[in-house]
Each structure stands twice: as C-alpha cells, then as structure tokens.
Amino acid sequence: MVSGRQELLPAVLPGVDRAWSRSVSAVDSQGVRRTWHVLDSGGAETAGERRYVGTLLCVHGNPTWSYLWRHLLARFSQPDAPRWRVVAVDHLDMGFSERTGTTRGLAQRIADLGTVTDALGLTGPVVTVGHDWGGAISLGWALRHRAQLRGVVLTNTAVHQPNGSPAPALIRLARLPGILPAVTVSTPTFLRATLALANPSLPAPVRDGYLAPYLTPDRRAAIGGFVADIPLTPEHPSWSALADVAQHLETLAEVPALLLWGPRDPVFGDAHLRDLRTRLPHAQLHRFEGAGHLLAEDADVADAVVRWLTDLDRPTPADRPTPAPEPSREPAVSWRPLWAALEERADDRRVALVELAQGGRQVSWSLLWRRIREIAAGLSTSGVRRGDRVALLVPPGADLTAAVYACLRIGAVIVVADPGLGLAGMNRALRSAAPAYIIAIGPGLAAARVLRWPGRRLGAGRGAAVLGSLTLGKLARLGAGDQELPPAPEPDDDAAVLFTSGSTGPAKGAVYTHRQLAAMRDVLSDLGLDPGAGIVAAFAPFALFGPALGAPSAIPDMRVTAPRTLTAAALAEAAAAVDASAVFASPAALRNVVDTGGALDSRQRAALEKVGLLFSAGAPVPATLLAQARALMPGAQPHTPYGMTEVLPVTDITLDEIVDVGAGDGVCVGRPLPGVQVAIAALDPSGEPAGQPGCAPGLTGEIMVRAAHTKDRYDALWLTERVSSRNPGWHRTGDVGHLDPDGRLWVQGRLAHVLVTSDGVLTPVGIEQQVESLAQIARAAVVGVGPRGLAQVVVVAETRPPVPRPRPADRELADAVRAVVAPPVVAVLLVPALPTDIRHNSKIDRSRLSRWAERVLAGGRLNGL
C-alpha cells in the first residue's frame, strides 16, 4: 500500500521537494506489516502526465538516508532530463522509515528492498544505484530481479574485503568492544564523522538535513546495527549473504554497469575498487579526483548518470537515422611492432644508446636487444602476463628503455607517470592506473612502499636489494639463454597508459594500443628523422621513441624531468656522442641552453654545428628563442611541433615559416602532418564549443583532431572520455584556436581559460602576445576574475628585470599595457615569475593565477601565489 506525503520530514530540508516524500506500507518477508519512507520523483504525478522509460532505484548506506540522492531526484525532475523515475528508499530503522526495534541483517535488507519495489509496482526496466552498504543491498536486489534489471550504478561501495587489505579504520574503530554503542547510538559521533568526510565540507543546513532523522539515540539504533552487520569473518551471520552477492556478480556480465568513485575515501579504498572491477570487468569507471566517500556530495553524480542513461537510451544502430557524412579518414596504419627496429638490429654492434649522466655509458644495438629479450623472459617467468599493468619509475636511459620494450614484447601494459608530476600527482596517477607490478629504482621503490602503491614491487637498480625482491639484473638472469618468449601481443591490445602533464588539472592516463604507439612512431619519422641518424633526446617522450625509430640516441647529462637543468655544454656533449643530426628539447630546456651558450668551447660548438633538425615542443615556443637556439646550431632548421599526450604530434612549423607568417591572434603551430585531420568546434557567445566540427578559416573554437596515433581512451575516466570523444573518431583537445586561409592552425589558449566578458568571448594568448610586445615585459598571462559572462580582464606579468615580490604595476606600465590591448584591463599585477607546470616548466598555470588575482582584487594579500 502506498500512502501520501510523509509528515515526518522537517519543514525546511535543503534540496528536497516535499512532494517527493511518500510512505510505503507492506508485509515484509517475516509476515509483519512495515512502513518505509521513500523519496519518489514520480510520486506527485497524475496518471499520464509523464511516461517513464524506467526507474532509478537508489539505495543509501550507513549512516545516511535517501537525502543522499536529492541531486538525482532534482535533476531527473527537470523537463529536459531523460524520462526516468527516481525512487530513493529509506531502509527500515533508518531515515524516516519505521523504527522496528528488530535486527535486520544483509539478507533481510535485500528482501526488504524487494518488498518495497513490489509495493510500488516497479516492473522494470530498473537501474539500481547504490552507495556504501547500500551497494551490496542494491546488487542483492539486482541478482534477484534480473528480468527487471536494465543496469547497475555503484558509488564507493564493496562486496568483499580483499585479502591482505585491512577493514576500513573507521569501521574497525567503531567495532572495538564497548565503543560501538557509544559512537553510533548513544552519541552521533559516527554519523558526524561520516559527514565530515565530505570534500568540500557540507554547508550547515545540508549537514542538519542528514542529522534530521537521527536526533535521539532511539532513532540511531540501526546506525550501530549496520556497523555490526559488516561481516569481517566467515563466522558472521551476514557473511554468506555477502559472499553470495559477490560470487554471482559475474552473472551480470551482460548488464550495463557504471562505477563512480571518489578516491579520497578512508572507508572503501583502491583495493575495494580493484575487486569490483575484477567482478564487473565490463563496467564503465570514472574516478572523480579530489572526491571521497560521500561521492554524491563531492561530485556531480547526477550529471554522470544522466549521460550514462542517455547512452543506454540511444537507439540501436539499425534504428538510428543516417548521420551527416564525416570527413574521410585516412586508411588504417599497418602495424609494425614498436620493437621491430631493435629486433632487426639484434646483431648490430654499433652504438644504440649513450647515457651522458652515467659517465658516457654506451649500449650497442645487440646488447640492448639481448637485454630486452632477457628481461622479457624474466618477467614472464616471474608471472607477468599479457595485459598486466607494469608501472615504470625509472629515469630515461638504457634501463628504462630495456624495461619498456621488454614489457611491450610480452604484452604487458606499461604505465608511465613521470616524476615531474610531483609526489602527490604520482600518487594519484598510480592509484588510478592500479598496476599489478612496479619496476623502480630505490627512491621509487621507497615511495611505493611508504605510500602503499598497488602492485608487486620489482627493483631496477640502486637500493633494490633492500626494497625489491627482483632487480632488472636478476630478471635478466632469470631470462638468460635462448628462452622462448610468449606470443607477441595483437595490434589492438592495450600497450601503454601515458599520463598527461597535469598542467590543466589532475593528470589523466591516456591508454594506447600497440597499433596506436606504432602509428606515433611512424608520424615522428615523417618529421624527417632517418633511421641511423643520431638524435639527442632531451625531451622525455623521445628518449623512448629513438630506439623505435632505429636512431642512435643520446640522453644528455641533465634531469630529463627538470628541463631547465640542460646546459649548452651538456647538449653539445650528447650531440658529439652520437654525431647527432637532430635534437629534441622542451622550450624551458632550450632557454637554458641559450643562456649558457657562452661557455661552449670550439669542440662543442663544432658538434652543435652538425645538427640539422631542432625540435622543441611541450608548450608554445617563441620565435626569438628558436632564433637564439639556431645561432648555436647554425645548420639546424628549428621545428616546433604541436601536440599533446593524447595525440603527438598534430602539426608542425619551422622557424622560417613562423617568420613568414608574422604576428596573429595566437601562436601559429603550422599545418597538420600527413594522416592528421584538424577541425574547429566554434565557440558560442557563452564560450561553449559547438557540437560538430567545421573547417572555416578564422573560426575560433575548440581544436579537434583525428589521426591513427590518437589515444584509444582515457583510463578510469569514463565521463572525461565521453566528453572528449563525443564526435566519433575525433579527439576534443581542450585547446582553442582557428585555422587560417592556408590551412595553418593557430592556438589561442585553453578552453578552460577562455574569458567570457560582457563584451563577448576572449581568448588569452593573442592578448598576452600584445602585452609581451612591450620591452619591459618578459612574459604575460591574461586571466579573468568575476562571474562567467561578466569576467574582468587582469594581466599578470614578469618584467625585465624581474620584480623582487608581487606588486601592482606602476601607473606608467599599466597605461602602456592598456594601450596595446583592445579589451579593458582592470588591473596589471607583476610577479617575480609566472607559475608553470612542473613537467615542462613552460606552460603557465593560468587557473592558479586567476584564483590569486581574484583574492588580491578582493583585498587579499599579494603574497601566497
């Protein structure tokens, strides 16, 4: 029986429409009539007012109640929402449901949920949505109602305590003898501690909303009961019920599933997520970095569910209308394994790799390939299998090269997150990628142990004897001899997870297949790199691709993850070591090379004079810097390819072309490389990009790319991947720019940094270039402060000479800045150095500057940038 509005709700409950509140009366599995409280987005509708295509059955955990799902209820109550009804049930003795005074274990909770859905007449299709202990309950219902089930959504939950993983500390503490009733029932300690996990902190009215059903001990009894019902040993009464759910999840292999996860969760951690992914390997996964246990409060779960249901509701291919024709695609690139050039040189005793940081250590092609084979065999003997993820925490050099190609040869998936991300960034990246193994030098192994990174730890060198059971040397000895290697992976198997720089938010893992990595090698060869021509790899990606190109490579005496450590002398010594005709270096590295060029001796200058190609990428490269670098390498033609971790490279332009093109709105990055297509999704007046790409000259919008070497997908970021690839075959880069009449691409900034002012949409780079035309300005960043649509333009700049501390510009300089830019500028702020990303030391962190400028203009202190 279903009755009307539930009067127990407080008069004011933020985010809740009281029309959603209903009570459901039914006889439970024990033959007793009980009354449940539900929030139901369809509860107030008259028959025929809206036709639903299905129901979202939302199940809360402990110690929350259906209030947790108010954002879903609100979103699906909007006229433009998918036509799904949302029903959020309060468990008996929880929320505003009946207080029964009984002890209800997991099996009874699952049966109770079935009683409610029967009383509501839910016949399907149903998508279950579960959180915390409500995840196991919702899955139990799903397994018993397969005929009605359309899909499963889970947020921060578990169905099993993985071996070797301790129970959550919050639960273990609450379960201590004598503690349980004191912290869960007698006082609201457990409840308040759970609410304190929200990030950011809950507003007081929302926190009060969660507390509302639990104001007295008698109304909190089930909070303690739920904690006590978590089975940690086989002797527990609910152990078999939970084991039954866990063991039968494989039967949901054909049921669409979505995992939404907050990684900052002290209750359900990475081990629980890995366990769920093992049991539901087909599930889509999105990790919301920065979010935690109360995911529905920390992140926009409603938007994710809307997008996922939209995909579920799409017609099958046979039912879809014929789409508009898309630009023709280049033929699929045939696959030549990435290690092919190395294998072909198995008997070549000439130098393949020189490490200047290791005293000029030289490795021949034959030794390198033998080492790769031995490590590959050793990894295989040690249990590494095709598809296993192996994180590599080894500096560029012979050891890293051998480990990379050994993993690729046996089909293991390499995970590359460079130390330039910082320890916190590395921690996020590795927890997201969840490698099965880690290969690292001593510091990396130490960090892996202290931070408890996932994966069995294998050593790669110094310090490994203490922290790792196997070094690369031991792996090679295990694989010594002419051992047969496992079959090579297939072209479309996963090959690598490469993490972005983190300069535009938390680093994202880009997954590449073997075919896509091989295509990246091939497009690099189109830049003019001939096999056998020596290269200097002062830019981390090319330290690995040199051997794949068949090019002898030298790694300069520098910290590759700190580009500014490259000196002109170190570059020259590396060039001499392999008689280099090509150099790869980031803009920050080039800047220091130019600054230290005066220390070169005649021999070093002669080595640099043999360089014919100079490549600099990773951030926009000023023409003046390229010209200064060419003064040191007079025979070189400087190139500045444009690309990103997700597709590298995209376009290319030479210094001579940059000079010929002249100034414009943004940075000219040249024409697309062979096999690459570039299009623009035009920005509308609100700064949002259009849904479809276009190629009209002068049209400013989001840059879109399609190519054979584009990443396959983002790892564990289903929502991000869906947005970036919503046009099939295209990658939305997040950069903004335009094409000129000659087909050249101009980059005008990042989509996230576009300013939407009362006068229209502004992109930052062109304005920054105008400011940098002033002799006193070394570098500038344009940011917006204030609400979108009314943003005010602020210029933040480095000066020549630099100021000792942040301060406003004097009247004369501020007036000069305003004179060279078109939009009104509300403030000009000077800083000793603009903050940049830590991988390339080149990309300006405009988001950080915007937050700082907003604080300063609101009266805050100038320091603290």
The whole-number pLDDT of residue 464 equals 40
CATH class in words for 18-163+237-312: alpha beta
- Is 663 within 8 Å of 692 (Cβ atoms)? no
Residues near 200 by beta carbon (within 8 Å), at least 6 away in sequence: 298
Over residues 600-621, the pLDDT tens digits come to 999 999 999 999 999 998 777 8
User: For the structural domain made of 754-857, what CATH number should be given?
Assistant: 3.30.300.30
Q: What are φ and ψ of residue 346, in 5° steps?
A: -60, -25
Q: Which residues are registered as beta bridge partners of 89?
A: 38, 59
| C-alpha Rg value of the chain to the nearest Å | 30
Q: What is the pLDDT of residue 324?
A: 37
- Superfamily classification of domain 644-752: Luciferase; Domain 3 (2.30.38.10)
Q: Which two tokens stand for residue 451?
A: 């931070």
The residues of the chain that CATH labels 2.30.38.10 are 644-752
Angle between helices 568-577 and 602-609 (to 10 degrees): 60
Cα–Cα distance for residue pair 583/575, rounded to 1 Å:
8
pLDDT at 357: 84
In the chain, which residues fall in CATH 3.40.50.980?
368-489
Phi/psi at 668 (5° precision): -80, 120
Residue 317: what pLDDT?
A: 41
Sign of torsion, CA 177 178 184 185?
positive
Provide the pLDDT for residue 326: 46
Residue 155 β-bridge partners: 131, 260
Q: Are 492 and 687 in contact (CB under 8 A)?
A: no
Using CA atoms, how far apart are residues 830 and 828, in angstroms rounded to an integer? 7
* CA separation for the pair 730, 710 (Å, rounded): 9
| Neighbouring residues of 52: CB distance < 8 A, sequence distance ≥ 6 | 42, 83, 84, 85
117-148 in b/e form (b: 16+ CB < 10 A) is: bebbebeebbbbbbbbbbbbbbbbbbbebeeb
Q: Name the CATH code of domain 368-489 (choices 3.30.930.10, 3.55.40.20, 3.40.50.980, 1.20.120.1760).
A: 3.40.50.980
Looking at residue 421, its pLDDT comes to 79
Q: What is the pLDDT of residue 459?
A: 60
Q: Which residues of the chain have pLDDT under 50?
A: 5, 44-48, 316-331, 462-468, 839-841
pLDDT in tens, 4-57: 545 568 888 999 999 999 999 999 999 999 999 999 998 644 344 568 999 999
Give the model's pLDDT for residue 115.
97
Determine the residue type at 691: G
pLDDT digits (tens, 9 = 90+) for 264-288: 999 999 989 999 999 999 999 999 9
What type of residue sits at position 609? E
How far is 777 from 634, CA to CA, in rounded Å?
28
**DSSP states along 45-71:** PPTTS---SEEEEEE--SS--GGGGHH
CA 626 to chain centre: 32
Angle at alpha carbon of residue 274, lines to 273 and 275, rounded to 5°: 90
Helix then strand count (H, E) for the chain reads: 30, 35
Q: What is the pTM of this model?
A: 0.90
Q: Alpha carbon 544 to chain centroid distance?
A: 22
Q: How far apart are alpha carbons 655 and 661 in whole angstroms? A: 10
Q: Give span(s): CATH 3.30.300.30, the chain.
A: 754-857
Beta strand segments in 481-550, E: 494-499, 509-513, 534-538
Strand order in the sheet with 494-499: 456-459, 437-440, 389-393, 413-416, 494-499, 509-513, 713-714
Check residue 50 and give its pLDDT. Answer: 62
88 by DSSP, 3-state: which? strand
